[in-house]
Amino acid sequence: MVNVDSAQFGLPEPAYVGEFLKRATYSRWRGSSILYGFTHYSGACVVKTERVGAGEDFSQRWLLEHFRTLSLDLAELVYFQFGVLQRLAHDLSQLDMDDSKGFTRLLASYTRFVQTYWFARVTDQDQGRELYRLSKGILDVDYQLFASVTEQIKTLRRWFDRRPA
């Protein structure tokens, strides 16, 4: 469910699949036969129902609601963050180097984003923090946009500061 490579091309080597799933799986509740998995394009919650049971205090309906509100909301936040970073990276790449006011506007957008939406701590709940780090890490492996945009901002700031007025 998490690794959806096409079967027509053959399955990847087992070692690769194991590493991929290790990186993309949240296994805190493995002992209860519950696994969460996340990739760039999907989220999954896998439950072995006969192990979990269907009691009122831990029903599948409760688990589905928990997955939708905690896990997927955190993933949505991460996608929002990376979408904003992609927009900032694009705007920085299109910046006219003679437009110091344009850079000032971009710097203000970046600063608002960092202060408002780039969380060092998204929640005080351990599970939420772990899921946020997992989701963020999966995307960051590919994009590393925050570090890239931050470095571009610093470089352009030095460039604009050194320019004669």
Q: Average of pLDDT values for 32-58? A: 65
Predicted confidence (pLDDT) per residue in 8-19, tens digit? 666 667 777 777
Pure H helices in the chain: 14-24, 49-52, 60-66, 72-93, 100-117, 126-143, 145-162
Predicted confidence (pLDDT) per residue in 97-114, tens digit? 999 999 999 999 999 999
- Top pLDDT among 70 and 107 is at 107
What's residue 13's pLDDT?
A: 73
Q: What are the domain boundaries of the chain?
A: 7-162
When pLDDT is cut at 50, 70 and 90, the band that residue 59 belongs to is low
Distance CA 152, CA 98 (A): 16
- Longest CA–CA span in the chain (Å) reads 72
- Top pLDDT among 147 and 48 is at 147
Comparing 69-78, 125-134, 137-146, the range with the smallest average pLDDT is 137-146
What is the C-alpha R_g of the chain? 21
Q: Which amino acid is at 121?
A: R
Between the CA atoms of 157, 161, 162 and 165, what dihedral angle is there, to the nearest 10 degrees?
140
Give me the percent of the chain exceeding a pLDDT of 70.
76
